[in-house]
Chain A
Amino acid sequence: MSTIEQFRHETRAWLDANCPLSMRTAMAEGEVVWGASQPQFPSEDARLWFERMRDKRWFCPEWPEEYGGAGLSEEQLAVLESEMRRLKCRPPQINLGIWMLGPVLLAFGSEAQKRTLLPPMARGEVRWCQGFSEPNAGSDLASLKMAARDAGDHFVVDGSKIWTSYGDKSDWMYALVRTNPAAPKHEGISLIVLDMRSPGVKAVPIDLISGKSAFCQVFFDAVKVPKQQLIGPLNGGWSLAKYLLQHERKAMSKFGEISLPSHFHLLTLLREYLPRPQTPGEHALHARAVACAMNEHAYGLTVQRMTEEARSGDDVSGLMSIMKLVHTEQERDKFEVLLDAMGGHAFGWQSEAFSEQQQAITRAWLNSYALTISGGASEVQLNVIAKRVLGLPDAKKGVTP
C-alpha cells in the first residue's frame, strides 16, 4: 500500500472511531460551534468532536507542527477533507482566525507573532473577528480612516469599524488602520491585531431589516495597542489585506458548504403555492418562476464545471469572479418571485399564524438584500469582471461622455 493509501486507511478508521454519529448529520441553525475562549457546545457530542479534533491538531491540519498544526501535505489534506465529506462529518468548529488571518500570519508574521498567536488559534481557543469596513469606507475600502497614532511603544487607536460579524462575541480582532494620513490612500494602511477586551473598545449589535443580525459596529476610543501587534510592515497593510481577501473567498465557500440555513427549492414551493396556474397573470408568474429556477440550475452546473476544470488544471479565475455576483443576485430574484407566488403568506412577522417555513422565507428574503452588498457589492463585482477578466480599460481622469 502506498503511503497516501495508508494515510487514507488510517484517517478513515480514526474518523469512524472518533466522530460521534450525531456529528455526521446536517447541522441545524444555531448548532455551529465557534472556537473561542469560552466555547459553547449545543451537545456533549459536539464537545467530544471538538476536543478530539483539537487534540489530533486537525483544526488546521496543514499548518506546521511548531505552530499547532499537524504538518499534513497538500495531498494528505485533500484525503482528510474527502474522508470527512464521505462520512458527512460536521466541521468541529468555525474559526475566522484559522481561515482568514492564519494564512497571512504564516506568510508575513514575525517568528514571535507566529509563536504567540498561531498555537492558541490552532487549539480553537480564540474567537476572531474582522475589522475592515468603516461607516465611510464600504466599497472603497482603501479610504478607511480609523487612526492608529504612534505613541512610542504602542499605537493609540481611535475610530469605528462596521459590519463586523460577531464583534460582540469575539476575543480578538484583526483590523486595517490608517498609520499615515499624509500618504496616498493605499500606502498609509497597516494591519494590526487587538484584544477586544482592551479598555476603550465597545461593540454594538446592528439590527437589520431582516431582524437580529450577527453584525456589529465597533467603537474605539483611545485604545492602546502594543507595537508587537503590528502584522507585516508599517504602512504595508493593503497588500496583506488583498492576500487575506483571497482567503476570504475560500473560507466563504467552506462556510457555504456547511451552513445552509435557508435552502428553499423554488419549483417545489411553486407547486405548493401555485399548483395549477389558470389566469394569464398566473401563467406569466409561473413562467417567471421557472426561468428563475432554470438560471439557478445553470449556476449549479457552473459550480460543477468550475470544480472539474480546476481539477484538470484549467484557469478558472474568470469563472471564480462571477460566482458571488451570480449566486447573490439569483437569490434576490428567487425571493422576488417567491413573494409573488406566496402572496400574503410571505409577509408574516413573528406570528403563529404563519408557518416556520413561511417566516424563514420572509427573513431570508429580507436578508438577501444584505448579500448583494456585503463582501463586495454587485457593482464592484461587475467592475472586477470588466477590468480583470475582460480587460476593459480605465477611463481617463476628467472624461465625461
Chain B
Amino acid sequence: MNLRYSEEQRLLADSARDFLAARSPVAAQRRLRDEGSALGFDPQLWHAAVDLGWSAIPFPENYGGLDFGCMGLGPVFESLGRNLAATPLLSSVVLGGSLLHLAGNPQQQDRWLNALISGEKRLALALDEQSRHNPLGTAIEARAEGDGFRLQGDKYWVVDGLGADAYVLAARTSGHAGDVQGISLFLVPADTPGVHCSALPLIDSRNCARLHLDGVQLGCDALLGNLGDGWTALDAALDRGRACLSAELLGVAEHVFQTTLDYLKTRVQFDTPIGAFQALQHRAAQLYVDLALARSAVMAGLAALDDASLSVAERGRLVSLAKWKAGDTAIKVSNEAVQMHGGIGVTDELDIGLYLKRVRVAQACLGDRDFHCERYSALDQACA
C-alpha cells in the first residue's frame, strides 16, 4: 500500500487543478447559488470533465474505463474540494457506477454503464431514510406483489437526485432494520410511475433531493444483483464514495488553511501581523498537525480500496479512519478559519463561509465522525 501519489497520479492532479482553476473557480459556484440553479452543477462543466476522462477513472478497461482506481480519483476530488466545484462525479460515477459495476447484470451494465461514462445519463443513490446516515437501518420494504415488488416510503438526502435519469434504491425484501441480509438494490428509472423527486435545498446550494415512493411497482428485472444480497456491493460502493468525500474534505481543509495562514501574515492589528501572536500561532500549528495526519489517513483509505490483498474489514476500517479524520479536521480548520478572519469571516462576501457550509454537508454525507468512529471500532474487532 502506497501512501504517496505516483507520477501518473500527480499529472492527473495537475490537470484537474488547471482545468478547475480555469473552468470552475469559487466564483462560478457562487454564481450557481445566486441564480438558484436546481441542478446545483454546471452541465457544461460536467461534459468537459467527462471529455477529460474523469467519469472513466475507476472502471476496468473492458468496461470502457481507465482503471486508475481510487488512487486515481483522489487527486480529482482533492481539486474539486479546493475549488468548491460541484459535479455529479460522486453520485453518478463513484456511487451509481460502482453499484452497476459490482452488482449489475450484463444487460443493465450494457444499458447504463457506457451511458454514465459518456455523461449521457446520470444515476443517483437513494439510500438514507432518517436524519443520519445508517445504511444497515434501511427499513423501507419492497413487498413482493405479483411478478414484482411494490414500494412505499421516503428516501432522503439523495445526492444529485434532481434530474437524475435513474435511481439505485436500497430496500428491504426480508429481515429487519439492522440486518445485513435482506437488503435488495433496485435500478429505478426516474419516470417510473409513483416516483416523485423534490428538492431539499441545503446550505451548500448543491443538488439534494427527497424521493417519495408512492406505491411504486417494479418488475424483477429492476433488481440490481441478487434478492436480499445487496449489502456487499452497497457497502463497497459506499466505501468508495466515503474515500472520495474524504479526499474532497482534505482538499477543502488544505485550501482553507492556506487562505487563513495568508490572512494571519497580512492582517495587522496592534501594529503587528496577528500571526505573530503565540495564541494564534499555536492554534495554526495544531491545525497543521491535524492536516498532516488527515492526509496520511486519506491516502491510506484510497490506497486500501485498490489493494486486493486486504480483507473487506481492513479496507473498511481504513476508509472509516479517512472519513473520520478528514471530516473532523475539515470542521476544525473551517471553524478556526472563520474565527481567525474575525468580522469579515462571517460575511457572505468572503468565500470561507461557502467552504464552511460545504464541509458540514460533506462531513455528514455517507457517515459523520460519530458514525465512522463506531464503524472503525467494530471493524477493528473484526480485524483483530
Q: Give every chain A residue within 8 A of B105 (Cβ-Cβ).
A: none
**Of all chain A residues, which has the CB nearest B275?**
A392
Neighbour of A318 across the interface among B277, B292, B300, B373, CB < 8 A: B292
Neighbour of A383 across the interface among B278, B292, B293, B373, CB < 8 A: B278
- B172-195, CB under 8 A of A: which get 1 and which 0? 000000000000000000000000
Neighbour of A401 across the interface among B264, B269, B294, B377, CB < 8 A: B269
Pick the most buried of A322, A390, A394: most chain B CB atoms within 10 A of its CB.
A390
Once A293-B380, A393-B276 are accepted as A-B contacts, the answer to whether A287 and B370 lie under 8 Å apart by CB is yes
Pick the most buried of A294, A308, A309, A318: most chain B CB atoms within 10 A of its CB.
A294
Which of A107-115, A190-198, A297-305 is the contact stretch? A297-305
Q: Are A294 and B3 in contact (CB under 8 A)?
A: no
Once A297-B321, A392-B284 are accepted as A-B contacts, the answer to whether A304 and B373 lie under 8 Å apart by CB is no
How far does the alpha carbon of A298 sit from the alpha carbon of B320 in the complex, in Å?
Answer: 11
Q: Are A308 and B4 in contact (CB under 8 A)?
A: yes
Q: Give every chain B residue within 8 A of A302 (Cβ-Cβ).
A: 292-293, 295-296
Once A301-B300, A302-B296 are accepted as A-B contacts, the answer to whether A390 and B285 lie under 8 Å apart by CB is yes
Interface residues of B in 57-112 (CB under 8 A from A): none
How far does the alpha carbon of A301 sit from the alpha carbon of B302 in the complex, in Å?
Answer: 13
How many Å from the CB of B233 to the closest CB on chain A?
26
Q: Does B309 contact A (CB under 8 A)?
A: no
How far does the alpha carbon of A382 sit from the alpha carbon of B284 in the complex, in Å?
Answer: 9
Q: How large is the interface on A (under 10, 10 to 19, 20 to 34, 35 or more residues)?
A: 35 or more
Once A319-B292, A382-B286 are accepted as A-B contacts, the answer to whether A401 and B277 lie under 8 Å apart by CB is yes
Q: Are A392 and B265 in contact (CB under 8 A)?
A: yes
Interface residues of chain B, those whose CB is within 8 Å of chain A, are 2-4, 261, 264-265, 269-273, 275-278, 280-282, 284-286, 288-289, 292-297, 299-300, 321, 324-325, 370, 373-374, 376-377, 380-381, 384
Q: Give every chain B residue within 8 A of A389 (Cβ-Cβ).
A: 285, 288
**Of all chain B residues, which has the CB nearest A302?**
B296
Q: Give every chain A residue within 8 A of B285 (Cβ-Cβ).
A: 382-383, 385-386, 389-390
Q: Does A86 contact B (CB under 8 A)?
A: no
Q: Give every chain A residue within 8 A of B289 (Cβ-Cβ).
A: 322, 325-326, 385
- A296-324, CB under 8 A of B: which get 1 and which 0? 01110110110011001010001100100
In the complex, the 10 A-B pairs of residues with the closest C-beta atoms, listed nearest first: A386-B281, A385-B285, A395-B276, A301-B296, A305-B3, A298-B293, A302-B296, A392-B275, A382-B285, A290-B377
Once A294-B324, A298-B325 are accepted as A-B contacts, the answer to whether A305 and B4 lie under 8 Å apart by CB is yes
Neighbour of B3 across the interface among A308, A325, A387, CB < 8 A: A308
Q: Does A85 contact B (CB under 8 A)?
A: no
Once A304-B3, A322-B292, A396-B276 are accepted as A-B contacts, the answer to whether A294 and B373 lie under 8 Å apart by CB is yes
Neighbour of B284 across the interface among A295, A297, A325, A390, CB < 8 A: A390
Q: Give every chain B residue within 8 A of A319 (Cβ-Cβ).
A: 292
How far does the alpha carbon of A392 sit from the alpha carbon of B286 in the complex, in Å?
Answer: 13
Q: Does A184 contact B (CB under 8 A)?
A: no
**Of all chain B residues, which has the CB nearest A401?**
B270
How many Å from the CB of A167 to the closest CB on chain B?
33
Pick the most buried of B295, B299, B377: most chain A CB atoms within 10 A of its CB.
B377
Once A301-B300, A305-B299, A312-B4 are accepted as A-B contacts, the answer to whether A395 and B277 lie under 8 Å apart by CB is yes
Q: Give every chain A residue within 8 A of B261 (Cβ-Cβ).
A: 390, 392
Neighbour of B273 across the interface among A304, A326, A393, CB < 8 A: A393
- A361-397, CB under 8 A of B: which get 1 and which 0? 0000000000000000001001101110111111110
Q: Are A399 and B270 in contact (CB under 8 A)?
A: yes
How far does the alpha carbon of A326 sit from the alpha carbon of B325 in the complex, in Å?
Answer: 15
How far does the alpha carbon of A394 sit from the alpha carbon of B299 in the complex, in Å?
Answer: 34
Once A290-B377, A390-B261 are accepted as A-B contacts, the answer to whether A301 and B3 lie under 8 Å apart by CB is yes
Pick the most buried of B284, B285, B295, B376: most chain A CB atoms within 10 A of its CB.
B285
Q: Give every chain A residue within 8 A of B276 (Cβ-Cβ).
A: 392-396, 399
Q: Does A267 contact B (CB under 8 A)?
A: yes
Q: Does A178 contact B (CB under 8 A)?
A: no
How far does the alpha carbon of A367 sit from the alpha carbon of B120 in the complex, in Å?
Answer: 63
Q: Give every chain B residue within 8 A of A393 (Cβ-Cβ).
A: 265, 272-273, 275-276
**Of all chain A residues, which has the CB nearest B274?**
A401
**Of all chain A residues, which has the CB nearest B329?**
A298
Neighbour of B374 across the interface among A287, A385, A399, CB < 8 A: A287
Once A298-B321, A382-B281 are accepted as A-B contacts, the answer to whether A396 and B295 lie under 8 Å apart by CB is no
Pick the most buried of A293, A298, A299, A314: most chain B CB atoms within 10 A of its CB.
A298
